[in-house]
Amino acid sequence: MPSELEIAMESLIKVFHRYASKEGRSGTLSRRELRELMENELTNFLRSQKDPAAVDKIMRDLDTNGDGQVDFEEFVSLVVGLSIACEQCYQTTVAIKPT
């Protein structure tokens, strides 16, 4: 039976490939595919963004090799960054929670 972490990793891989296989090159996200993934899978994150060009800026930051696509390795850096930010919020929430 897979562990909770193994299930989370499999879910991350499946979500990436579900969107990466929609158009263009299989195994990478186009700008449109990244936007769709973020709108559907990171709804709360996008809702908290005040900048309407947030996805475009994220795309530029993620596309480290400059090919106009986001591969899985580049995508994982987004997930890691968001996870770090969420964990910091979690620590703050836990620290102020009354016992």
pLDDT for residue 33: 94
For the ranges 4-13, 20-29, 46-55, 70-79, the lowest mean pLDDT is seen at 46-55
Domains of the chain plus CATH, in order, are 4-96 (1.10.238.10)
Higher per-residue pLDDT: 5 or 86? 5
43-83 pLDDT, tens digit each: 887 777 777 787 888 888 988 888 999 999 999 998 998 88
3-class secondary structure per residue, 24-64? CCCCEECHHHHHHHHHHHCHHHHHHCCCCCHHHHHHHHHCC
Q: Is the pLDDT of residue 96 over 70?
A: no
**pTM exceeds 0.85:** no
CA torsion through residues 74, 78, 83, 84, sign: positive
